[in-house]
Amino acid sequence: MKKVKFGNMKILAHSFESILTSEDIKYTPRPWNRFEPEESLWWLLPTNEWPAYKYGKYQLWKDDKYLNIGVTIEKGFGELAAIAFPKLKKKDTIIEDKWMWNKLYIDMDNGKLEETLNKFEKNINQDVFINMNIGLAFDPSDYDPMKPKSDNITYKYNQGKLSLLNHRNSRGVLEELKNAKSINNIKETISNYKDINWTWIDYIIYTRFLRADMKDLDNNDLISTTEICDKFKPLKKYIGILY
């Protein structure tokens, strides 16, 4: 496993911002917890729009000795929720044509997501994971997509095959995901779920690195933020929105 030079999360997020930003796209770094930016999870958004649920975005967070780097695509509420709660459209929580989720959902079915993940796995040359944070809201009018979700599932991905790593199913939402062995299985489970219109999903594709301290700075296992951005190129198709 490669190591990343690490000061704190704020420094790292701004380092990625400077590398990702180009003449075409200006990235905006945003912390989940603005009161503790040095420790917080961060998003790199290809927009200054906020909230940015409909955008695919980069995500950085740490746990234990690891630094996790990935791409997050959010699934909002469906049309039935919009009919029951018309004001949700003003909150930008109802899936519309521009949402990146639409592309991810189609690609789960047609094999293109699996093809992309295989390229990413080859590029990054280390473990790739898929994490889904899942929340159910029968009254989505007061639902906060930024808050932690009730249910969570994580898989290890390896050349088209999924291995279940952990599953927290507090409310029994999309429980059958525990049986998924492929990307298409995930799509089928979502498609068949009776309460999918009321379900929010954060779909995160990521890999992890060791955080390097000062004594590791000359270590051959170090990988730069520039190299990481380059290796993430296969996933860039899921950054932004659809036009």
Give the count of domains, the chain.
1
Instruction: Using CB atoms within 10 Å of the CB of residue 232, give its burial: 0 to 12 exposed, 13 to 18 middle, 19+ buried.
Output: buried
Residue 51 lies in a domain: yes
Could you give the C-alpha distances from 180 to 105, 153, 158, 159, 218, in angstroms and in order?
15, 11, 13, 15, 41
162-171 pLDDT, tens digit per residue, is 999 999 998 8
SS3 at position 121 = helix
- Residue 164 structural domain: 3-238
Could you give the C-alpha distances from 116 to 17, 83, 103, 147, 233, in angstroms and in order?
23, 35, 13, 29, 10
Instruction: Report, as an integer, the average pLDDT of 31-54.
Output: 96
Evaluated on CA atoms 31, 34, 36, 38, the torsion sign reads: positive
Residue 104 lies in a domain: yes
Instruction: Give which of 50, 68, 199, 66 is closest to 137, Cα–Cα.
Output: 199
50-107 pLDDT, tens digit per residue, is 999 999 999 999 998 999 999 999 999 999 999 999 888 888 999 999 999 999 999 9
DSSP for 196-226, please give it.
Answer: GGGEEEEEEEEEEEEEE-GGGTT-TTB--HH
Residue 243 lies in a domain: no
Residue 18 has what pLDDT?
A: 95
198-233 pLDDT, tens digit per residue, is 999 999 999 999 998 766 666 678 899 999 999 999
